[in-house]
Chains A and B, each alone.
Chain A
Amino acid sequence: MNEYVSEPSLNFGRSYSSVALSRSGFMGLRTEKVALYILLAVASSLFMLFMLAYLIRSNVGDWDTLSQPWNPLSNRSQLWLNTSMLLCSSISFEYARRMVKSGNEAGILRGLMLAGLFTLTFLIGQVTVWQQLIDQGYYLNTNPANSFFYVLTALHGAHLFLGLIFWVTTMGRAWSGKSPEQVARITDMCATFWHFLFALWLLLFFILAGPPETIALLASYCDII
């Protein structure tokens, strides 16, 4: 039996590593996985409300969608590039997760390393987009569409950044070969988290820089102010 699939006991608390985490509780899920799904539900609620606020606010006359032909995001090449980076990081985490299942230590390390690098590239790419906007005079408070763009990309980036904290600790463990169960479990959690954040990014990308007519149409359904 390979050591990566041995049974977990998540050491979340110092005095109480012993609060045994059930493997077969709710829908047969591990406890930390249940907690992750709950967190994803909270994050979904947060972003959904932000996106609804975006659509509702866009009905006011001063709104100027960033993807209008005269605005910078009519050219989406940098955003597409960033999207592909995030897709790659998501795939790399999935690769690492599968390597965990087959017990391939080198594969796990390779997958994790790539996943982190792609994520960092994505974040740098996002900052590049910000820089481009600022260079062209599209500041946070110039137009509400800009405000939403900065806030939503920052919030999404902050989620990735939090994920990277777990990634760093896992990398350290995978590198030193210590506590393989921890590596296995956190890799699994990270993969799920990254898939979620990738799907979320697609949604954000669409709503922030999608075709202006489509966004206007969606917004018209949310015209409650």
Chain B
Amino acid sequence: MAYADDAEHEELHEPKSFWTKYVWSQDHKVIAIQYSLTAIVAGMVALTLSALMRMQIGLPGVIDMDAATYYQYVTMHGMIMVIYLLTALFLGGFGNYLIPLMCGARDMVFPFVNMLSFWFYLLSVIILFASFFVPGGPSGAGWTLYPPQAITEGTPGSGWGIILMLISLAVFIVAATMGGLNYVTTVLQARTHGMTMMRLPLSVWGIFVATILALLAFPALFVSAVMMMLDKTLHTSFFMPAMVSLGQQLDYSGGSPILFQHLFWFFGHPEVYIVALPAFGIVSDIISVHARKNIFGYKMMVWAIVAIGGLSFVVWAHHMYVSGMNPYFGFFFATTTLIIAIPTAIKVYNWVLTLWQGNLHLTVPMLFAIAFILTFVVGGMTGLFLGNVIVDVPLSDTYFVVAHFHMVMGVAPILVVFGAIYHWYPKITGRMLNDTIGHIHFWITFIGTYLIYFPMHYLGVLGMPRRYYAYEGYDFLPESAHDLNVFITVVALILGTAQFLFIFNMLYSYFRGKVASPNPWKACSLEWLTPDTPPAHGNWGDKLPVVHRWAYDYSVPGAPDDFVAQTVSTDEVASESATDDELIELEGHQPSET
């Protein structure tokens, strides 16, 4: 590999000052931490907003919230969680940290652009949060920002709020594109000796394909943001139809709100998989390591990721069944939506088969990974309901939908985020997270989310509409629905508060945690084999690692340890192992054909 040869001969330029090392850093590991911390702070804000919203729904009167504020919180909660937390954390955080280490590269291929990516991201977050402080407050249009209401007077934040939201999204897209350019190019170009694409850990595959989706799908959001901005500020009529608002004829005519919805969801559906695919990859790695077993059907897993990525571009209109569309369109999109169940089910089966007869270590990351599989199956099953037009129409705009997407897109990826942080924290900081706090955090989070979202399915089937800021005085809602709302709110508040355990654990362990060995989980992949923990600038010593096998050689019969690292050649294992018969087993350089 030319990359590795070149990288070994090029001189390393160690950043010297505090500023170039920790602030204007071009080191992918520092950028990853900058991205992650920013995303977590944004996520904590969004979590607080959700707690306030739940207070309003379950315990009305305890806090003084009007409808406008409620909608602003809904909007900001959704937007922050989907874009500024999950997308940023999986791609900017984990992508940045893991890709160069797992590929065996010294860094991303364009470190300067990588640094810019973070600063643009931070700028987008600042712009978004600034909208809390402008006249009229942040946009209250719902995270989908549908026109005409998003930019029409009467909607909260239809002035500066929506303008800042659109600018922030545009800046975020620039950041994501600069980052994405690095992630894809690094995977394609900067793999070390012997690291073929089909030897890459599935985390890299998931992030790689998700980044390609992001690069191709974010332009749709960019296009719609630009056009909506012009509709708002210069009174073009891309999306705005002729309408009378507050007794006034507006100077718009002929624009199509449905066109916005098509553009938005052409971005919005791949966005689901931009978040899900990295989670799929990471969970595969965590399960394999902690079950001490090779991932079942590696090649199938890779192709399932690619297939899901491809299919995600042809399902967008299933978000628009009630917007009005040609019935044949509905049929087409229902069919493609249900087809996605096939590669997804393949992945779930393969995870289960990886666990099957494995030597399961129920560590905290493993618990989160298993919880993810359960949650993803639950959320995926309700997706089968909603994917069918005829079932979706009555359930649309009820809490069933809220329950579905929070299970599949909220809880499931967040469980992976937690699992991944518990898994890689020792490499990132050199210390272990506290195990007891970890277990408490896991059980509260896992059980808590089910207590919150399971009842919401029931509320949805009961017909409880979503997007209402108060539920008093509706005859069709029985008293029990209100009781359930109180229950959900109480659990949500406990769950939200419990997340401080996790924050505390991260801070406490950083200073006082048990010092971690370089490879505490005895994993095979390259990031655990760095000469320093945490890895130094340039990641590897003078020589880049040489890869001889895939990342999943656990419990190989005949091997001296229960794992064979990617850098170990067959000869090296053979010299230490027992009999010739067992050597046959050690030829496992390539993923098996299962």
Contact = CB atoms under 8 A, between A and B. Distances in A.
Interface of A: 9, 12-26, 31, 34-35, 38-39, 41-42, 45-46, 49-50, 53, 56-57, 60-63, 140-141, 144, 147, 151, 224-225
A7 B306 CA distance: 35
Which residue, of A16, A17, A53, A62, has the highest number of chain B Cβ atoms within 10 A? A16
Contacts, number: 161
B112 interface: yes
Interface stretch (B7-15, B33-41, B55-63, B289-297): B7-15
A76 B26 CA distance: 49
B227 A53 contact: yes
Nearest to A144: B237
Interface stretch (B183-191, B474-482, B495-503): B183-191
Contacts of B266: 49
Contacts of A20: 3, 5-7, 9-10, 106
A35 B219 CA distance: 17
B326 interface: yes
Nearest to B242: A62
Nearest to B211: A38
Interface residues of B, number: 61
Contacts of A50: 223
Interface string B224-265: 001100100011111000000000000001111011001100
A19 B10 contact: yes
- Which label, helix, strand, loop or mixed, suits the secondary structure of the A interface? loop
Which residue, of B109, B184, B191, B253, has the highest number of chain A Cβ atoms within 10 A? B109
A38 B256 contact: no
A61 B259 contact: no
Contact of A46 (B9, B109, B222, B235): B222
A121 B532 CA distance: 56
A140 B230 contact: yes
B183 to A, nearest CB: 10
Given A21-B6, A49-B220, A56-B262, A34 B254 contact: no
A60 B257 CA distance: 12
A19 B111 contact: yes
A22 B219 contact: no
14 contacts: A13-B113, A15-B26, A16-B106, A16-B111, A18-B11, A18-B12, A18-B13, A22-B1, A25-B189, A31-B190, A49-B223, A53-B263, A62-B237, A224-B262
User: Which 7 pairs across A and B sit closest by C-beta, in order of nearness?
Assistant: A20-B6, A62-B254, A22-B3, A25-B189, A13-B112, A18-B10, A46-B219
B177 interface: yes
Given A31-B189, A35-B181, A224-B325, A147 B10 contact: no
B575 interface: no
Given A25-B2, A56-B262, 15 more contacts: A15-B26, A16-B106, A18-B12, A22-B2, A23-B2, A42-B177, A45-B217, A53-B223, A53-B263, A56-B256, A56-B259, A63-B254, A144-B238, A151-B230, A224-B329
A56 B111 CA distance: 40
Interface string B12-24: 1111000010000
A141 B234 CA distance: 7
Given A18-B10, A18-B106, A141-B234, A57 B259 contact: yes
B111 A13 contact: yes
A225 B238 contact: no
A129 B185 CA distance: 39
Nearest to B216: A45
Given A31-B109, A31-B185, A57 B10 contact: no
B108 A19 contact: yes
B392 interface: no
A38 B236 contact: no
Which residue, of A9, A22, A62, A140, has the highest number of chain B Cβ atoms within 10 A? A22
Nearest to B109: A31
A57 B256 CA distance: 7
B2 to A, nearest CB: 4
